[in-house]
Amino acid sequence: MKTTRTVLILLSLLAGQGLAHAATAYETKLSQEFWYNLRNDKVDDMRKWTSKTKGYLLLGGAFSPNRNHFYKKLGMAGIMFSSINGGSNDFRLSTAPYIADTLTFATLAHKTAAPGDGFSQRMYLTYNFLVMSVLFNDKAGVMKAIDDIVAEANKPQYSPVQKPVFYEVLATLLLTAKDPALVQIGVDYFEQSLALIRNCTSQDCVDAATLAPFYEVVNLISIGEGYAMLNLPMQSTAYLNEAVALATEKNWPYLNQFLAYRQGITAKFSTATQVTNPWPTGFKNEQPFLFNHENGCRYCHVTQTVIPTRYMPK
C-alpha cells in the first residue's frame, strides 16, 4: 500500500513536471511569435496572436510565473492597434477596444511587476494617465502625468537604459498632442532620450539596441517632425538630414518610405509664408510618421537578430 502511494506521488510529480515543461515551451513559442509579428509587419498575425494569448491566460496562463511577460506583450499589441489611422490624439470607435486592451493589460502588468521592472511601470503610467489626458485634451492631467513619469524614470532601481526609454515613450505621445507647448516638451524629452542612449555603454543598452536597432533613426525623425510642427524649419531640417544619413548608413528598410513622407513636410514649409504654421489645416491635425501605419513599432524593431534572453519567458 505504501509502495503504491509512493508510486502515485512520483507519477503525479512527473506529470506536473511534464505539464510545466509543456507550458514553458508554449510560452516561449508565444513570445517568439510576438516578436516575429512585430518585427516583420505581420499585423493580421498579431491579431490572431492576441486572441490566442488571451485564451491561454483565461485557460490557466494567468497563474503562470510568466504572466507579467504576456500582460506587457498584450499591452504592446493594444498600443500597435490603437494607432490605426489616428494615434493617441484621435479617438475613434474603431480604436476604442484596443485602447481598452492597452489600459487593461498595462494595469495587470503594473500589479504583477517585479522590482526594477521599468517596462511595466512605464506602460502603466504612460497609457493609463498620459494617453487618456492627451486623448481628451486635459492639459492639467498631461502635466501631472509628465511629472509622475519623470519621477518614476529617475528612481535608482532601474537599469541605465530605462530612463531614456521612459523619456522616449513620453515624448512620442506628446508629439500627438494638440497643444504646441506640449509638443515642445515632447521634443525636449526626445533630445534628452537621444543623448542618454548615445552615452550608454552598459549591457542593458547593448541588448536594447539588439531589440530596437533603428531607435536612433526614429528618434531623430521624431525630433525633426516636432520642430516642423513648431514651425522651426532650420532645426527640423538639421535633424531630418541627420536621420536620413544614419538610416542610409544602417540600411534602414523604411528609408524610401520616409523620404516620400518627408516631401510633404518640405512642401508645407515652402508654402508657410502665408500662414503662421507649416501645417495649413491647423496645428497638429496630421499624424507623425510613427502613426501613419498601424504597426508603427516596426520602424524601430525591424530586424532578424536573435532576441536577448532577458526579453523571453523565464
| CA of residue 144 relative to chain centroid, distance | 21
**pLDDT given at position 12:** 43
Residue 299 lies in a domain: yes
| CA of residue 127 relative to chain centroid, distance | 10
- Quote the domain boundaries for residue 147: 20-311
| CA of residue 73 relative to chain centroid, distance | 10
Q: Per residue in 120-152, pLDDT tens?
A: 888 778 777 777 777 777 888 888 888 988 998
Give dist(CA 172, CA 11) in Å, integer: 53
**pLDDT given at position 236:** 86
Phi, psi for 197 (deg, rounded to 5) = -65, -40
Confidence band of 20 (pLDDT split at 50, 70, 90): low
Residue 63 lies in a domain: yes
Report how far apart, in Å, the C-alpha atoms of 253 and of each of 41, 94, 109, 122, 237 are: 12, 29, 32, 28, 21
Report how far apart, in Å, the C-alpha atoms of 81 and of each of 85, 89, 99, 132, 287 are: 9, 14, 8, 16, 15
- Residues in CB range of 90: below 8 A, 6 or more apart: 176, 287
Amino acid at 35: W
Residue 10 lies in a domain: no
Confidence band of 89 (pLDDT split at 50, 70, 90): very low
Domain count along the chain:
1
Q: For residues 223-249, b (16+ Cβ closer than 10 Å) or e, as one string?
A: bbbbbbbbbbbeebbebbebbbebbee
pTM, two decimals, is: 0.78
Q: Per residue in 205-256, pLDDT tens?
A: 787 777 788 889 999 998 988 888 887 888 888 999 999 999 999 999 888 8
Residue 6 lies in a domain: no
Q: What is the CATH number of the domain that holds 302?
A: 1.25.40
Give dist(CA 55, CA 22) in Å, integer: 16
